[in-house]
A and B are shown apart, each in its own frame.
Chain A
Amino acid sequence: MRGRLCAVTGDQAPAAEQLLRVDLRRAGSAMVVTVAGEVDMFTAPRLEAAVGRSLADATVNVTVVDLTRVAFLDDAGLSALVTAHRAAERQDEPLRIVVDHNRPVVRPLQITGLERVLALYYDVAEALREPHSSGG
């Protein structure tokens, strides 16, 4: 990987941790991954790692990813979601993505057709409520 921004712009460029905040919270047998900020090629690995951690936890039956406070989502972020969705499918564990009407998230999902692939919800409560039916 090439060098990071050197001194002049290093002052202006926030770290990935500042651009994208990711929290994991248990809700019974579910894990809620709350994401806030901007998801791009720089920060998407943080999203992917957090969701991966939840999926790898054998005590978690449902992973809910809350994207309602995401202000930007690019192709790298979409790829992180698709990767997680496939991993969840393989272990027959639902990955529920909460988007509400948050346009910065809904718009890229629509134009790529991924809104028909991923399991999308309006709010976390709804995503947690839905029973886990085998086979998704």
Chain B
Amino acid sequence: MPAHRDQSEDRAGPPSGAGPAGGAPPPSAAAHIWEIRLPAVLETLGLVRTGLRRRLAQLDWPDDAALDVLLAVNEAVSNAVEHAFPPGAPDGTVEVAARVEPVGGRRRLRVRIRDTGRWLPRPGPEEDVNRRRGLPMMSVLMAEVLIHRGGPSPLDGTVVTLLSPPVPGP
């Protein structure tokens, strides 16, 4: 299997997009607060949850809202792991990037889940009627769910963007 050299980037450091030195405080609210890239395999689900859970705790994200974010992100990553890659395709990766955005004195989380493959059609209803809750769950849990499917090449990728409901500021 191909090497995944850059498998885990858990960047919790200062925002890279900070303004010039000595200027106004960095626009931390719009900076990436957490990123990770992992192989699109089942074990990745728990690693993504562990990292994001820890980061949300550091941000004092309310427990109930944090659980909703974890549930929604987990379903998006599950879809990527389960459906992104056609049989025989090289192993792919899943990237998760989260940032905090201010909304009228409150804050919300924008999470982008990107894979390097394309979601395949789900199996027919006879065989899979019991496994179709992922997308509806994301829609209920989040304020907005955007799904951008890539072009014809399997490497074009699928990008899911989740916008959380706003929560009180820190």
Cβ contacts under 8 Å, A2 to chain B: 40-41, 85, 91
Q: Smallest distance from the beta carbon of A24 to chain B beta carbons, Å? A: 23
Q: Is the CB of A72 within 8 A of B137?
A: no
Instruction: For chain A, residues 2 to 28, give those with C-beta under 8 angstroms from any C-beta of chain B.
Output: 2-6, 8-9, 12-14, 19
CA distance A123 to B66 in the complex (A): 26
Contacts of A41 in B (CB 8 A): 42, 45, 78, 81-82
In the complex, which of the residues A5, A19, A78 contacts B133, with contact meaning CB atoms closer than 8 Å? Answer: A78
| Interface residue ranges of B110-149 to A (CB < 8 Å) | 130-131, 133-134, 136-137, 140-141
Given contacts A5-B43, A42-B42, A75-B78, whether A83 and B130 have CB atoms under 8 Å apart is yes
**A residues in contact with B46, CB < 8 Å:** 13-14, 19, 38, 40, 42
**Interface residue count for A (Cβ, 8 Å)?**
29
Q: Which single residue of chain B is at the shortest CB-CB distance from A103?
A: B67
Check A112–B136 contact: CB distance below 8 A.
Answer: yes
A/B interface sample: 18 pairs, CB < 8 A: A4-B41, A9-B4, A9-B38, A9-B47, A12-B47, A40-B42, A40-B46, A41-B42, A41-B81, A42-B46, A74-B74, A76-B131, A83-B130, A103-B67, A104-B67, A108-B71, A111-B140, A111-B141
Q: How far is the CA of A5 from the CA of B94 in the complex (A)?
A: 13
Known contacts being A14-B46, A111-B137, A111-B140, is A74 close to B67, with CB within 8 Å? no
In the complex, what distance in Å separates the CA atom of A95 from the CA atom of B165? 35
Interface residues of B in 67-88 (CB under 8 A from A): 67-68, 70-71, 74-75, 78, 81-82, 85
Within 8 Å by CB of B45, from A3, A40, A78, A79, lies: A40
Tell me how many residues of B have a C-beta within 8 Å of chain A: 38
When distances are taken between beta carbons in the complex, the residues of chain B under 8 Å from A74 are 45, 71, 74-75, 78
Chain A residues with CB under 8 Å of chain B are 2-6, 8-9, 12-14, 19, 38, 40-42, 72, 74-76, 78-79, 82-83, 103-104, 107-108, 111-112
User: How many angstroms between the C-alpha atoms of A30 and B67 in the bound complex?
Assistant: 33
**Once the chains are docked, how many angstroms separate the CA of A4 from the CA of B81?**
12
Closest residue of A by beta carbon distance from B53:
A72
Q: Which 8 A-B pairs have the closest CB atoms?
A: A42-B42, A13-B43, A75-B133, A3-B1, A111-B140, A40-B45, A79-B130, A9-B7
Contacts of A75 in B (CB 8 A): 75, 78, 131, 133-134, 137
Interface centre among A2, A6, A9, A79, by most chain B C-beta atoms within 10 angstroms, is A2
